[in-house]
Amino acid sequence: GGGKRPGAFAIYLEPWHSDIFDVLNLKKNHGKEEQRARDLFYGLWVPDLFMRRVEEDGVWSLMCPQQCAGLAECHGKEFDALYEKYESEGRFTRQVQAREVWGAILDAQIETGTPYLLYKDAANAKSNQKNLGTIQCSNLCTEIIQYTDEEEVAVCNLASICLPKFVISKRGPHGSTNPSSSDAYFDHDALHHATKIVTRNLNKVIDVNSYPVPGAKKSNRSHRPIGLGVSGLADAFIRLGVPFDSKEAKLLNEAIFETIYHAALEASAELAESHGPYDTFDGSPASMGKLQFNLWGINDEETPSQKNAKLQKDDAVVDAMLPRQKYPSVYEQKGYDWDGIRQRIMAGGLGKSLL
């Protein structure tokens, strides 16, 4: 921050691009200097069709985006149909085995650590911004995937939540706490409350922030995305006395992010009810009742809190799911009411396109 951190830039390319082999060599340590650009970072935006061709050991056609327009602007079945149409018309610059491209990708990763691999069709299918158009790239660190075009520069408003603060430890005889007490538990209610505060604060950031270019302001004000991350997950496990690679740690990890997601949705729904939904809400998956886990094929009953609430009703398995969290809270008593928040969103909208 404050101009002290050097700028960095990531370039994303799809593997059908005719320059794919040259781009894969740009970060390598050997070769002609005039053919290298090592200060840049590289990512591949991979369509499922390419991976199917790799799996089948099929032929892959390399194309010029000027001669084969529109491939970057579509995904899924629409991309497959357009790509195969161009193939049948012979509009490719050359054809190679798909595994030759795949091998070059792996060689580059072994030598340089790049390119990043992100999967275009999955990224678009599972995004609440899919109604805006085809998402064509991620960012430098690949933690956000947002829509951009000629008029909009994607912006994400980020915050990090410190998880150890929500581990409640039993107090000792002199008021001290044992950071790894077997009686310690994770306070989902407190995390839920804190997440709602963070969501509202980030909403204010969008309104009061200054923007270096008009496209960034337009994007941020129209779609109002936020990203909520965490720090100290391993520290929280230590305080709870939970091994990092245990089943319990995996379940708690899922439960923590379910709590964060529900709280962010609830706060966003409240913001929409008081200030109106974000401008491009209509047509989004959320506007049709599809929450993020639904886009992954998960039903409400399969969420951690609902599964845990079901187990709590059976005394024989009361400790089977999340034993260190068995205490009176919304999370343990009944699970989160996903259909309730869904109906609320469909009726009143959301204040944020991404949460």
Per-residue pLDDT reduced to its tens digit, 43-59: 999 999 999 999 999 99
State whether 36 and 81 are in the same domain. Answer: yes
Average pLDDT, the chain: 90
For residue 313, the enclosing domain spans 153-348
Whether 310 has a pLDDT exceeding 80, the answer reads no
| Active-site residue, from 64, 87, 111, 139 | 139
Question: Does residue 2 lie in a domain region?
Answer: no
Higher pLDDT, 316 or 35: 35
Question: Does residue 54 lie in a domain region?
Answer: yes
**CATH number of the domain to which 344 belongs:** 3.20.70.20
Whether 304 has a pLDDT exceeding 90, the answer reads no
- How would residue 333 be classed by pLDDT, with cut points 50, 70 and 90? low
State whether 237 and 111 are in the same domain. Answer: no
Question: Does residue 131 lie in a domain region?
Answer: no
* Listed range (71-85, 241-255, 272-286) with the worst mean pLDDT: 241-255
State whether 215 and 323 are in the same domain. Answer: yes
What pLDDT sits at residue 313? Answer: 60
State whether 119 and 208 are in the same domain. Answer: no
Token couple for 26 = 């740009």
Q: Measuring CA to CA, how many Å separate 180 from each of 67, 171, 324? A: 63, 11, 12
Question: Does residue 271 lie in a domain region?
Answer: yes
pTM for the model: 0.88
**What's the rounded Cα separation, in Å, for the pair 345 and 325?**
29
DSSP letter at 214?
Answer: H
- How would residue 176 be classed by pLDDT, with cut points 50, 70 and 90? very low
Whether 119 has a pLDDT exceeding 50, the answer reads yes
State whether 196 and 265 are in the same domain. Answer: yes
Question: Does residue 115 lie in a domain region?
Answer: yes
Q: Which of 42, 222, 67 is nearest to 146 (CA)?
A: 222
State whether 329 and 221 are in the same domain. Answer: yes
139 an active-site residue?
A: yes
74 an active-site residue?
A: no
What pLDDT sits at residue 55? Answer: 98
**What's the rounded Cα separation, in Å, for the pair 271 and 349?**
9
| Active-site residue, from 56, 141, 162, 299 | 141
State whether 61 and 201 are in the same domain. Answer: no
What pLDDT sits at residue 326? Answer: 46
Q: pLDDT digits over 122-152, tens only? A: 999 999 999 999 999 999 989 899 999 999 9
What pLDDT sits at residue 275? Answer: 96
Question: Does residue 354 lie in a domain region?
Answer: no
Amino acid of residue 59: V
* Listed range (48-57, 139-148, 296-305, 321-330) with the worst mean pLDDT: 321-330
Whether 311 has a pLDDT exceeding 90, the answer reads no
State whether 167 and 266 are in the same domain. Answer: yes
Q: Measuring CA to CA, how many Å separate 244 from each of 89, 177, 198, 241, 253? A: 54, 21, 27, 9, 10
Q: Which of 159, 134, 153, 155 is nearest to 144 (CA)?
A: 155
Of all residues in the chain, the percent with pLDDT exceeding 70 is 89
Whether 175 has a pLDDT exceeding 60, the answer reads no
Question: Does residue 143 lie in a domain region?
Answer: no
State whether 244 and 202 are in the same domain. Answer: yes
Mean pLDDT on 331-348 = 88
State whether 162 and 112 are in the same domain. Answer: no
141 an active-site residue?
A: yes
What pLDDT sits at residue 334? Answer: 73
State whether 99 and 191 are in the same domain. Answer: no
Mean pLDDT on 250-255 = 91
Overall domain count for the chain: 2
| Active-site residue, from 55, 100, 143, 302 | 143
Question: Does residue 145 lie in a domain region?
Answer: no
- How would residue 323 be classed by pLDDT, with cut points 50, 70 and 90? very low
- How would residue 307 be classed by pLDDT, with cut points 50, 70 and 90? confident
Whether 197 has a pLDDT exceeding 90, the answer reads yes
Whether 319 has a pLDDT exceeding 50, the answer reads no
**What's the rounded Cα separation, in Å, for the pair 32 and 324?**
58
State whether 195 and 322 are in the same domain. Answer: yes
What pLDDT sits at residue 329? Answer: 60
